[in-house]
Each structure stands twice: as structure tokens, then as C-alpha cells.
């Protein structure tokens, strides 16, 4: 990662002829590319590094074409000779998803912004698509039956098999072939964005701008509308979804001849295909790579399945596939997919008896030495008490170093807790030692356990190793 920042810095300095700038990291999403924001002279830029040169070339080619067509996308400031690194204009931090959350109580504002996005989508698909050289696309030039079939296999191997729902391989494959043939039977001459969803739409100066279209190809009009209106992370009601679909169809009909009934029938089939592809992606990123944000999104995608299945079952006869999907939307399956809790073992112990034994087999964890804090056990009235008794608690909390020590403990432990949850780890050990394992270590173990038990997604197991001797 450090090498990526060096390459971005070198390109930036060479292009803008300045070394007066700062760099801040931009959090990764589902991509392996490295992003950062460069601040210089009151302006900001986005630096990008990615080792997939073909992907970079596709993004840059589509960007230049979109700019020529008046589509609001980032401007290309500089590109390294090896195409691994490039600098873009900055579209800010507010995505359409952020806009939706910020305006949760203002339906009018949200619908208005969606309609602006849909008007832009019509131009992207038809006008920009008309003159685009699809040979510039990344891997596939067209979204055909083979691409649909690949997406369905992605769902099968990275989701269906992992959650261990039994199915007949041959029957399901036959359904996949029929389903993919229906969706990809005609090659349509429109630009298909491929990942047209709210995180890839940035709101700047009150207008939508567009990013992450490097996977674009020639494909059906319905796909990008389905991606936008049935995004699992946006809880859109059916009335709003229907209003926006009608708005889109009205405006696409002004550009190309579209029959509403057949359009809607294929639209719902593509909604299903897109949802299954999304589940495959969430399965790979979440259940295999252990990235909790994707695991947490799985129940949202299953909710979309639950919404659309009654409609699509009336329109199509992919009955074996539908039977499998009915099993997926079972509530018990959803519960199984919720991210596992992180178990935190909190212990107090005596250094005279040795450190607690890790029973998980993972090893490691935190061990905090409480002996720098004044020992209540040296005071006669506290000797027979423990760190759970209020008199000892009051004594320890009267010392200013107690709160300082605790704040440092929590800062260190919570850094690991958050990272462990992100990575899908299941166990963390936090131990506190003092001379007798009775006062200071017990106090800090109790206080820490209480704090941690209030955090989402964790289970705390508190143990005082010297309790029997009390």
C-alpha cells in the first residue's frame, strides 16, 4: 500500500509541479484499488493506483468518452506511463446513498434526485452508448446469455453452496441455462453501466455525478434501472419504486421504441439475475473473505428476493430455481447469515499464580499490568474486600491515574475489537493482573467487561481466576 502512495505522489508532483500537499486515505470498498485524496493550494484531487492495467484502461477510455458526451464524471488530470496510477478531479464525499440517508424524511427531495439520475441514465445508455467503441470494454463487450450464466454460477458457488442448501446440480443448471437464454437472447446496442447503484453516484453542487463504470458493456436497458431501484442497501417502498420505473419508461420511450409490458417482464427477470449476482458477490466478500460489511448486507439482498419472488413467479416458469430461492428466504436462513458475534474473554489474575490459559487455541490478546495503581490491599479495611466492592471502587476511582489507565486500555482494546469484527474473527482475550488478583485486576476487569458488553456484536465472558481464594 505504501508503494501505491509513493507512485501517486510522484505522478502528482510531476503533473502539478508542487510538493506542497497532503494525502489522506480513502476507505476501500469492494475493490483492490487504492484511493487517496490529495490536498494542495485549496484544491483537492483523487489519486488512484491499481495493478489491473486493463481495468484502468477501460475506466479511462469510458471517462474520456463520457466527458465528450457531457456526462458528469471526474476529469482525468494525469495518467502514469504504465497506466497503473492516475489522478482525477474530486467529486467530494457525498454519495446518493448518503443523500438518501440525510433526507430520510424528505421523500420529495429523494424522488427528485432519483429522477435526475434516471434522466442521466437515459443519456448514458442511449446517447453515449450510440457512439461508444465497445472494444474498449474491460473483459466482456456484451451482456449476453453467457455473461448471465456466469453470474448465476457465481451465485451458486460463492453463496448457495456455502450456506449449504441442498439442490440437484443438473436441474438447477438446466434452469440457469433457460433463464440466461431468456435474458441474453438479444444483443442490444445500449451502454450498460453494470454497477449503477447509489454508492457509485456522487452528489456535487446539487447534481449527480458518476464513478466506477469500468465494468460497462453493451447490454439491455433494464439492467441499470434494476440495479438502481432494487439496491439492497436502500429500503425503497413499492410505490416510489413504481413511480420511478414509470418515469424512466416514459423518458426512454422518447429515445427508442419500447413496449411497456415486455419491458417490465424482462425487467423483473433482470432484477432477479442482478440480485443473485449480488448475493454471489456478498458471499465471496463476506463469507469467504470475512469482510463483515458484506456479510451484514446479505439479509438485505434476501429481503429483495422476498419482495420480487411473488411477481416474477407469475411471469415465468423457472420453477426449480424458484423452489431453491424459497428456501433461501426462510427466516432461519437469514439468521444463520448474520455476522457472528465476537467473544471477548475478560480475566483478572494474580501474577503470583501466572497468566490465564487461552482455551481458544488462538493465543495472543492483551495483558495489562495493574500494579502501577496504588494497592487497596495494603489498607486494612480493604484487605478482605475485592475490586467488586463499592468501597474499593470508590478508593480506586479517587486516584486520577485510574481513569487515565482505563482510557488507554479502552483505546487499545477497541481498536482491535473493531478490526476483529471487520475481519470476522471470533475470539479476543483481555487480561488484567495484579499482585493478588483480588482488588485492582478485578476492578479493571469488571469495568472493562461492562464497557465492552455495551458494544454491538460482541459477547463478553468475564472470569476472575482467583475467585475461589476470596
Q: Evaluate if residue 356 carries a pLDDT over 80.
A: yes
Per residue in 368-377, pLDDT (tens digit) is 999 999 999 9
If DSSP codes are grouped into helix, strand and coil, which group holds residue 165?
coil
**Which of these, 11, 14, 17, lies nearest to 87 by C-alpha position?**
11
Q: CATH 3.90.1200.10 in the chain: give the residue spans.
A: 96-337
Query: 447-466: b or e for each residue (b if 16 or more CB lie within 10 Å)?
Result: bbbebbeeeeebebebebbb
Contact 29, 199 (CB under 8 A): yes
Predicted pLDDT at 35: 92
Percent of the chain with pLDDT over 70: 95
**Could you tell me the three cell numbers for 200?**
457509485
The residues near 23 (Cβ < 8 Å, ≥ 6 apart) are 5, 8, 9, 36, 37, 38, 39, 47
* pLDDT given at position 364: 73
State the average pLDDT for the chain.
90
* Superfamily grouping for domain 96-337: Aminoglycoside phosphotransferase (APH), C-terminal lobe (3.90.1200.10)
Give the pLDDT confidence score for residue 320 in this predicted structure: 96
Mean pLDDT of 115-120: 98
The closest alpha carbon to 442, from 378, 375, 381, belongs to 375
Q: What is the mean pLDDT of residues 387-410?
A: 93
Judge whether residue 241 has pLDDT over 70: yes
Convert the pLDDT of each residue in 301-331 to its tens digit: 898 999 999 999 999 999 999 999 999 987 5
**Mean pLDDT in residue range 352-361:** 82
CA distance 246 to 225: 11
Give helix 292-315 / helix 400-423 axis angle, nearest 10°: 40
Query: What was the pLDDT predicted at 337?
Result: 55
What pLDDT score does 164 carry? 80
CA atoms within 13 A on the CB side of 102: 9
Q: Would the pTM count as exceeding 0.85?
A: no
CATH code at 2-89:
3.30.200.20
Instruction: Yes or no: say if 360 and 427 are a contact pair by the CB < 8 Å rule.
Output: yes
pLDDT digits (tens, 9 = 90+) for 122-140: 999 999 988 899 888 887 8
335: pLDDT strictly greater than 60: no
All 3 cell numbers of residue 21? 500537499
Rounded CA separation 71/67 (Å): 6
Between CA 295 and CA 288 the distance in angstroms is: 10
Residue 290 has pLDDT above 80, yes or no: no
The DSSP annotation for 105-142 comes to T-HHHHHHHHHHHHHHHHIIIIIIHHT--GGGSSS-SB
- Over 60: is that where the pLDDT of 93 sits? yes
| pLDDT, tens digit, 9 for 90 and up, residues 10-38 | 999 999 898 878 888 886 665 678 999 99
Q: Mean of the pLDDT values across residues 167-176?
A: 96
Q: Cβ contacts of residue 454 below 8 Å, gap of 6+?
A: none
Give start-end residues of each CATH 3.30.200.20 domain in the chain.
2-89
Amino acid at each position: 500500500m505504501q508503494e501505491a502512495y509513493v507512485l501517486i505522489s510522484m505522478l502528482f508532483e510531476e503533473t502539478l509541479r508542487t510538493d506542497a500537499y497532503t494525502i489522506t486515505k480513502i476507505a476501500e470498498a469492494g475493490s483492490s484499488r487504492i484511493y487517496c485524496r490529495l490536498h494542495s493550494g485549496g484544491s483537492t484531487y483523487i489519486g488512484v493506483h491499481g495493478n489491473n492495467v486493463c481495468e484502468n484502461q477501460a475506466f479511462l477510455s469510458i471517462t474520456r468518452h463520457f466527458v465528450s458526451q457531457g456526462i458528469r464524471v471526474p476529469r482525468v488530470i494525469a495518467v502514469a506511463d504504465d497506466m497503473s496510477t492516475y489522478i482525477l478531479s474530486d467529486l467530494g464525499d457525498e454519495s446518493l446513498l448518503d443523500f438518501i440517508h440525510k433526507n430520510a424524511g424528505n421523500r420529495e427531495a429523494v424522488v427528485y434526485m432519483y429522477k435526475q439520475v434516471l434522466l442521466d441514465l437515459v443519456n448514458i445508455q442511449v446517447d453515449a452508448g450510440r457512439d461508444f467503441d465497445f472494444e474498449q470494454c474491460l473483459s466482456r463487450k456484451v451482456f449476453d446469455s453467457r455473461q448471465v450464466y456466469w453470474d448465476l454460477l457465481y451465485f451458486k458457488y460463492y453463496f448457495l453452496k456455502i450456506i449449504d442448501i441442498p439442490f440437484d446440480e443438473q436441474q438447477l443448471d438446466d434452469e440457469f441455462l433457460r433463464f440466461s437464454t431468456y435474458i441474453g437472447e438479444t444483443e442490444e446496442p445500449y451502454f450498460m453501466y453494470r454497477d449503477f447503484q447509489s454508492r457509485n453516484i456522487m452528489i456535487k453542487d446539487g447534481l449527480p455525478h458518476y464513478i466506477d463504470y469500468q465494468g460497462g458493456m453493451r447490454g439491455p436497458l433494464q439492467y441499470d434501472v434494476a440495479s438502481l431501484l432494487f439496491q439492497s442497501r436502500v429500503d425503497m417502498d413499492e410505490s416510489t419504486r413504481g413511480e420511478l420505473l414509470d418515469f424512466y419508461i416514459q423518458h426512454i420511450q422518447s429515445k427508442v421504441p419500447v413496449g411497456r409490458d415486455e419491458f417490465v417482464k424482462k425487467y423483473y427477470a433482470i432484477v432477479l439475475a442482478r440480485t443473485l449476482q449480488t448475493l454471489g458477490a456478498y458471499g465471496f466478500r463476506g463469507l469467504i473473505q470475512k469482510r463483515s460489511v458484506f456479510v451484514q448486507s446479505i439479509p438485505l439482498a434476501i429481503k429483495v428476493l422476498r419482495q420480487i419472488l411473488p411477481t416474477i413467479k407469475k411471469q415465468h416458469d423457472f420453477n426449480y430455481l424458484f423452489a431453491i430461492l424459497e428456501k433461501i428466504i426462510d427466516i432461519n436462513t437469514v439468521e444463520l447469515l448474520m455476522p457472528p458475534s465476537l467473544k471477548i474473554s475478560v480475566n483478572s489474575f494474580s501474577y503470583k499464580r501466572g497468566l490465564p490459559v487461552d482455551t481458544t487455541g488462538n493465543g495472543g490478546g492483551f495483558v495489562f499490568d495493574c500494579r502501577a495503581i496504588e494497592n487497596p490491599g495494603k489498607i486494612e479495611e480493604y484487605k478482605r474486600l475485592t475490586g467488586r466492592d463499592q468501597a474499593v471502587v470508590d478508593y480506586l476511582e479517587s486516584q486520577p491515574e485510574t481513569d487515565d489507565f482505563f482510557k488507554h486500555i479502552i483505546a487499545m482494546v477497541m481498536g482491535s475489537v473493531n478490526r476483529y469484527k471487520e475481519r470476522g474473527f471470533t475470539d479476543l482475550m483481555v487480561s488484567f493482573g495484579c499482585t493478588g488478583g483480588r482488588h485492582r485486576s478485578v476492578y479493571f476487569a469488571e469495568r472493562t467487561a461492562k464497557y465492552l458488553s455495551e458494544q454491538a456484536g460482541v459477547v463478553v465472558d468475564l472470569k476472575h481466576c482467583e475467585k475461589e481464594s476470596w
